[in-house]
Structure 1
Amino acid sequence: MHVPDGFINAPVSVAAGVAAAAAVAVSLRGARRELDERTAPLAGLVAAFIFAVQMLNFPVAAGTSGHLLGGALAAILVGPYTGVLCVSVVLLMQGILFADGGLTALGVNITVMGVVTVVTAHLLFRGLLRVLPPTRRSVTAAGFVAALLSVPAAAAAFTAVYAVGGTTDVPLGKVLAAMVGVHVLIGIGEALITAATVGAVIAVRPDLVHGACGLATPLKLRVDGALVDAPAAPVPAAAGGSTKKVWVTGLVTALVLAGFVSFYASANPDGLEKVAADKGIDEKVEEHAAAGSPLADYGVKDVDDARLSGGLAGVIGVGVTVVAGTGIFWAVRRRKSGELTAASASAPVA
């Protein structure tokens, strides 16, 4: 659903850019509460994983494909504020390095693909957990539903932006019906990928899943006829220790997906591209400013072998995204630590 340059006029693109910048600023502050020494590097890995899976377009209808948006997955794994930052990092890397998603439309893409999907998924996910049993299966099921509905919500949000700033005169009712219709199908793929990934992580390290925090019910003991909380059991090393194994496994998975599996992705246009071509939204599309990038269109320039070119581009993309993402999240975490240290130092001594 990457919006290219030319779909949305300049004033609305600027307004969306301001809104996206504000959302990122708020998320930077909020992420300080979500990140710690263990989750900061994992947040960078989540961004790289989303980048990799977005390369895997899957068929959803005749001549149409879809790909993961990632907002729901990021919100559940690392929290909503950090989730917005994860998707924003991915979109920034894609726009600058791979000419995917217009640079003037970057604000639109962050708002629609990042903010709308994360907020929608987070609210649905938390709402469902309030009524479902506090179990790991509930987290996975709630993640499935949240991811499923976040995608058509993003499609509706794009239509709303297009209604205000679209550069072509197209009946909005037809655009909305087409966008939501195809993205409901894409949402099914999003839901399956999200549920599978969350289920896999929660099975081995539930302590690393933000959406699973607080699920453990304290053990009760009956003492002299009254129920009291049992003493907390020690946390096994495998459950609360180093995140190195999870990080390495996740990175290798992302590299394999982007470097090898992506070659077998569907070549059909994605939902937005198909609707734009069918409804005439793309009449004024502009060439991407980074069209001459050595990695444009997810291929390495001057590498003739398509499999090798796409695989190298995918590996480079994962590497750049994980480095950029991890650097940003570590900086956010270090700033939080610095603020806590300064507050401790300035506190009066009793």
Structure 2
Amino acid sequence: MRTIVTGAAGFIGFHVAKRLLERGDQVIGIDNLSDYYDVRLKLDRLAQINNQSGFTFHKQDLVEHEPVAQLFKEVGAQRVIHLAAQAGVRYSLENPHAYVDSNVVGFLNVLEACRHNKIEHLVYASSSSVYGSNTKVPFSVHDNVDHPVSLYAATKKANELMAHTYSHLYRIPMTGLRFFTVYGPWGRPDMALFKFTRSILANEPIDVYNNGEHQRDFTYIDDIVEGIIRVVDRVPAPDPDWNGQSPDPGTSSAPYRLYNIGNHSSVQLMDFIAALETALGKKAEKRMLPMQPGDVQATYADVEDLARDVGFSPDTPIETGIARFIDWYKDYYRI
């Protein structure tokens, strides 16, 4: 199987590409190596897979329509796993154009390339952030998500709408995956676990937003990857029971599906920090701060559809996942 993985130098993209290569697939990695965070970390991820048989890498910005179209045409892939995006909720308040360029224009170029190259399945990253102002938990793909509270979330909701449109018009099988707070080895430096670890080891205070009252469905990277791999192998078909009189947001009369991938448990932020303190053997100095614009109080994934359709639901405890991250962090930074 020849699979394009966009964002291949990113946190999730790297792990997905590595897993596909391990099972014998050919992987075409695409990444623009943006400087949103330390490019050295991205290059070091790529170094783990660059010499593996079956992997080729292309430095390419998905915003550039013609080069993207030509690249898709040349590589002749059968499937696409689209993980490239401008991430981060708070950064979207400062640099909104970066999100529209990468997450909307870039995604449109991927959709057009899939349309013109007979891609048999596009799996793309959405986000738990699309649930926005929803307070009914656990969050279900069958619930309405029309009230995002950040531009990042709005671009991910836009991706779902754009994907459905192309799936309907051109009968391209597409699956959107709403990820819930992914963490683990090789993670992003702008994420809480990475920042907390760095600050605690440096004897610096950590910023605890919403006075520690956040709840998050923390999902370990290996569980995310397992879900992606199982989903990409399950090409969706139109739902014969879909009814326009009572439309189900999670399915469609087109070959289109949405799934949550989360640990289906909501963990208090203070409990997450306590698990990190235990793994480090060191207490954190906490700077309690109010809730930030664009944040939500709690996330909690309903993964019933994922479990039913692909036979998998994430279950890695935070204590296990955090310990693995700390082992990687200390090795990578030679601590």
Both structures adopt the same fold (TM-score exceeding 0.5): no
Q: TM-score, normalised by structure 1?
A: 0.24
Indicate the structure with greater helix content: 1
Q: Tell me which of the two structures has the higher relative contact order, counting C-alpha pairs closer than 8 angstroms and 6 or more residues apart.
A: 1
Q: TM-score, normalised by structure 2?
A: 0.25
Indicate the structure with greater strand content: 2
